Chains A and B, each alone.
Chain A
Amino acid sequence: DGGITQSPKYLFRKEGQNVTLSCEQNLNHDAMYWYRQDPGQGLRLIYYSQIVNDFQKGDIAEGYSVSREKKESFPLTVTSAQKNPTAFYLCASTGDGAYNSPLHFGNGTRLTVT
């Protein structure tokens, strides 16, 4: 069954620690995205990658880093520089050739930093 897998579902970290969220897709999609959801603010774009070994900052990239070494994988690192890291993080992908194909989302990782 094709889809996007985000792990873990829940993640707890102490303030000051970096943490990496995993995102894997087997949809053969070229483009992958990271969004963050906060109450009352919808989904905000952190980083996106349209092709392997290339990625661009989204609207709220500060305090985050990504890599895209393989087509299937797009891990997100939340660094200690991110001021408010506690949030629900969503990974998405698209790229079946149609320019306006919808995003497919994973089930998210809820990160809590104390």
Chain B
Amino acid sequence: DQQVKQNSPSLSVQEGRISILNCDYTNSMFDYFLWYKKYPAEGPTFLISISSIKDKNEDGRFTVFLNKSAKHLSLHIVPSQPGDSAVYFCAAKSTSYGKLTFGQGTILTVHP
């Protein structure tokens, strides 16, 4: 039972344009969401997070949007850069339970 889903295995974007990565979840108890970025043969690194009391959080070129009614979140990267090419994982947790559940990941490729 995949509680966090990233339905797009890959995304290709031109440098300078917007990248939009999507994530859906099914567990209504999830109240904290994170995005991680991962390069090959390395561990994931934390990118940005959002609590369920907010619907938007911004950090530089990265913005995460949360739509609680649709159980959907998205990560926007503007402008996209070739160095952003990586696998992006969405993750969610319930602060009551503490365990983080990850999506399958989306491979982002930004072309120069």
Q: How far is the CB of B66 from chain A (nearest CB, A)?
A: 14
With A and B bound together, what is the CA distance between A107 and B41 in angstroms?
A: 7
Question: In the docked arrangement, what's the CA distance between A43 and B103, Å?
Answer: 7
Closest chain B residue to A38 by CB distance?
Answer: B104
Does A4 interact with chain B (Cβ within 8 Å)? yes
Is A107 in contact with B42, judged by CB distance below 8 angstroms? yes
Check B12 for interface membership: any CB of A closer than 8 A. no
Chain A interface size, under 10 / 10 to 19 / 20 to 34 / 35 or more? 20 to 34
Asked if A92 contacts B43 (CB within 8 A), the reply is yes
Contact of A90 among B4, B6, B43 (CB under 8 A): B43
**A103 to B99 Cα, complex, angstroms:** 11
Interface residues of B (CB under 8 A from A): 4, 6, 9, 32, 34, 36, 41-46, 49, 51, 89, 91, 93, 95, 98-105
